[in-house]
């Protein structure tokens, strides 16, 4: 841990606030990632954080602060230099390769630019079915084709697309529709956690809103947990239950979204908020719902976490 992170870590602990509803699905403990040799870059520095079942945790911070590295660590795509990642109670480092593959099915990613992750020569049906074919031997071969098409039809319907588009190609769709296709693909293996990496930042504002609505609806219906990486504090105010603020590899503040956005404790968070000309977190739907909701007891909290 670098010397200037002590205050930051203390602040993060102090600002963690009341635990969110649900038990931790993801537990990050003392995570550190260095890149390079003799004078390594410390991309992630002593990050400890729980993400609770059914919540949306927003990860914010300026470019280069370590958000992508942290998400790659939590997805088990990068090995930490130190520290641990537990998913559903299982330490990723203790798993065999095949166990890790099994856990990774439950964590999927939606990226900012779905086009870059789609083979333009593949039909929508094959793009959405790709995870099924990769992970499930029974989904391979000609005999599985009809079953896959049926499943792809269900997935497309779940994201508000017509099942009849299966034989079309990505370039025939708008950015918002392509993002829906990539969400359908991410849902193919029944994940529990979605890492949403700037999922709407390449979209027009009106389209952004429809994709955010879709994500909220899916979370409620499927009990999903979201780690939502975003530069946009306006989007964060709209979607997040809790916010984790990163600066130079460390978490400097973690807490309830309303509290962090309205009364930030750390100077860096204040700086981020000051950089946004018009932001009224009270207008965020999550914040508004929390502000008007009666205080929930443990049973209510569990139900809330499952239904959000
Ligand atoms: N493979 C790598 N090798 C060397 N340094 C790396 C590597 N990946 C990331 N870094 C460095 O680690 C730091 C954090 O990078 P990271 O991409 O995680 O930040 P970020 O917050 O996701 O940025 P952005 O918002 O621009 O995507 C940066 O200094 C980056 O240059």
Give the domain CATH number at 231: 3.40.50.300
ipTM: 0.97
* Cβ atoms 188, 154 nearer than 8 A: no
What is the distance in A from the centroid of ligand 1 to the CA of 35?
Answer: 9
Ligand 1 contacts CB of residue 67 (under 6 A): yes
Ligand 1 contacts CB of residue 40 (under 6 A): no
- What is the pLDDT averaged over residues 163-190? 95
Same-domain pairing of 31 and 65: yes
Same-domain pairing of 79 and 111: no
pLDDT, mean over the chain: 84
* CB neighbourhood size of 136 (10 A): 15
Listed residues 190, 209, 239: the one ending a domain: 190
Same-domain pairing of 212 and 137: no
pLDDT at position 49: 97
The residue contributing the CA closest to ligand 1 atom 5 is: 35
The residue contributing the CA closest to ligand 1 atom 11 is: 43
Ligand 1 contacts CB of residue 39 (under 6 A): no
**CA triple 51-191-123, angle to 5 deg:** 135
- What is the pLDDT averaged over residues 152-158? 96
Torsion of CA 294, 265, 31, 117, to 10 degrees: 70
Ligand 1 contacts CB of residue 232 (under 6 A): no
Predicted TM-score (pTM) of the model is 0.84
* pLDDT at residue 281 greater than cutoff 70: no
pLDDT at position 21: 55
Terminus-to-terminus CA distance in the chain, angstroms?
Answer: 36
Q: Which of 68, 113, 195, 252 to mutate to test the pocket of ligand 1 (most atoms within 8 A of CB)?
A: 68
Beta strands in the chain (DSSP E): 24-35, 41-52, 56-60, 82-87, 90-91, 107-110, 193-197, 225-229, 242-247, 250-256
Same-domain pairing of 232 and 260: yes
What is the distance in A from the centroid of ligand 1 to the CA of 103?
Answer: 25
Q: Which of 32, 42, 67, 111 to mutate to test the pocket of ligand 1 (most atoms within 8 A of CB)?
A: 67
Same-domain pairing of 249 and 181: no
pLDDT digits (tens, 9 = 90+) for 101-112: 999 999 999 998
What is the distance in A from the centroid of ligand 1 to the CA of 67?
Answer: 8
Listed residues 163, 190, 217: the one ending a domain: 190
Ligand 1 contacts CB of residue 111 (under 6 A): no
Same-domain pairing of 202 and 177: no
CA distance 163 to 210: 19
Same-domain pairing of 154 and 293: no
* Cβ atoms 132, 126 nearer than 8 A: no
pLDDT digits (tens, 9 = 90+) for 57-71: 999 999 999 999 999
Ligand 1 contacts CB of residue 35 (under 6 A): yes
Q: Which of 37, 40, 65 to mutate to test the pocket of ligand 1 (most atoms within 8 A of CB)?
A: 65
pLDDT digits (tens, 9 = 90+) for 75-110: 999 999 999 999 999 999 999 999 999 999 999 999
Q: Which residues lie closer than 8 Å to 108 by C-beta, 6 or more apart?
A: 131, 186, 187, 189, 191, 193, 194, 195
Q: For residue 50, give its domain range.
A: 3-88+194-307
Domain count of the fold of the chain: 2
């Amino acid at each position: 841990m670098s010397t200037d992170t002590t205050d930051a870590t203390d602040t993060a602990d102090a600002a963690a606030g009341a635990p969110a509803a649900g038990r931790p699905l993801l537990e990050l403990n003392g995570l550190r990632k260095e890149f390079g040799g003799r004078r390594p870059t410390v991309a992630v520095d002593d990050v400890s954080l729980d993400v609770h079942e059914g919540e949306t945790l927003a990860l914010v911070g300026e470019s280069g602060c370590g958000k992508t590295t942290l998400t790659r660590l939590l997805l088990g795509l990068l090995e930490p230099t130190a520290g641990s990642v537990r998913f559903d109670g299982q330490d990723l480092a203790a798993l065999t390769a095949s166990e890790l593959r099994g856990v990774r099915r439950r964590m999927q990613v939606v990226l900012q630019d779905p086009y870059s992750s789609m083979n333009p020569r593949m039909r929508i049906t094959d793009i959405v079915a790709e995870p099924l074919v990769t992970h499930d031997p029974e989904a391979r071969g000609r005999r599985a084709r009809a079953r896959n098409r049926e499943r792809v039809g269900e997935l497309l319907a779940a994201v508000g697309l017509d099942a009849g588009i299966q034989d079309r190609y990505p370039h025939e769709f708008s950015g918002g529709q392509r993002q829906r296709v990539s969400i359908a693909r991410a849902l193919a293996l029944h994940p529990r956690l979605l890492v949403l990496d700037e999922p709407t930042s390449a979209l027009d504002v009106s389209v952004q809103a429809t994709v955010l609505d879709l994500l909220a609806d899916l979370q409620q219906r499927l009990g999903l947990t979201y780690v939502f990486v975003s530069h946009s504090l306006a989007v964060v105010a709209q979607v997040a239950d809790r916010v984790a603020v990163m600066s130079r590899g460390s978490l400097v503040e973690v807490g309830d979204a309303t509290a962090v956005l309205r009364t930030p404790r750390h100077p860096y968070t204040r700086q981020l908020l000051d950089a946004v000309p018009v932001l009224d977190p009270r207008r965020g739907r999550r914040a508004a719902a929390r502000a008007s909701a009666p205080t929930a007891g443990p049973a209510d909290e569990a139900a809330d976490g499952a239904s959000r």
